[in-house]
Amino acid sequence: MRELNVKSMQQKISDLENPKKSKSKDGIWLKIENDIKYQLRILIPEDGDPWREFHVHYNVGKNFGFLCPKANFDEPCAVCDFAWSLWNDRKDHPENEKIAKQLLPTKRFITPVMVLQEDGSWEGPKVWNYGNNIYQYFMRKYTDPDWTDFWRYDSGRNIKVLCYKEGDKYYPTTDVDLAPKESKLGTSKQIEAWEKEIPNLDELFNRKTSAEVKLILEEYLAGEDGAADEDKYGSNKSTSSASSRQESQESELSRVEQSIRELIGD
């Protein structure tokens, strides 16, 4: 006989009594709008690492995104196995290369931040989700003696972010720069309160077991008509039929990827 989840109910009651402290996963993400200048400051999570790296599968059916079992936890991943089978067969079937790239996991980084408002106050914590180029920028600054303390609360620097469309590029460009002037983020009491509100970064992405990932792949390959994956896409021995749905796949993948890009602002 099932029992009520008491811990979950206590959290619901707490959320009702403290609505300002209640945050959904959707509300915690920082959404970067095009052509708006943002200024951010990094918050340090409990483990001291504000640049958390994850590998995420997008574009697999109707799933928004989930952590790759293999890249993150060294566990079997059916999506990776299938994607690499397409990749290894690309010489005989060049059309499979693009599909493989879309199915392989994407490296993402997340950082808890505060967001400067027009009135000079700070909003947050929010979680900023970005790609490898921005991460490398931060690492270059951290290893530069003139900029290495940019993350500090008492004498750090605001991070200036601008996202914009450039020419005919499909995805927007994101420019990141550090403010030349050092500044203080807030009082010790304010910072302590903000740090307590940092969410568990390990729980923000949807983690699936290897068995669940295999089922997701099977459903994705079966599609609406329920055909078997080898009949539709082939395997290492036969992948020629992957091209039969490439056009419809590309349309769907582009739509999903664009919605993700708009959400995370990268």
pLDDT tens string, the chain, 266 residues long: the values are 445 666 666 666 665 665 544 445 568 999 999 999 999 999 999 999 999 999 999 889 877 789 999 999 999 999 999 999 999 998 888 889 999 999 999 999 999 999 999 999 999 999 999 999 999 999 999 999 999 999 999 999 999 999 999 888 888 899 999 999 999 999 999 999 999 999 998 888 778 999 999 999 999 998 733 333 333 333 333 333 444 444 444 444 444 444 444 444 44
8 A C-beta contact, residue 102 and residue 20: no
Decide: 266 and 129 in contact? Cβ < 8 Å: yes
* Cα angle 42-48-50, degrees, rounded to a multiple of 5: 35
Task: Decide if 240 contacts 106 (C-beta within 8 A).
Answer: no
Residue length, the chain? Answer: 266
Report the alpha-carbon distance of residue 191 to residue 10 in Å, rounded. 27
Give the start-to-end residue ranges of the domains of the chain. 27-73+103-207+245-264
Asked: is 27-73+103-207+245-264 a CATH 3.90.198 domain? The reply is yes
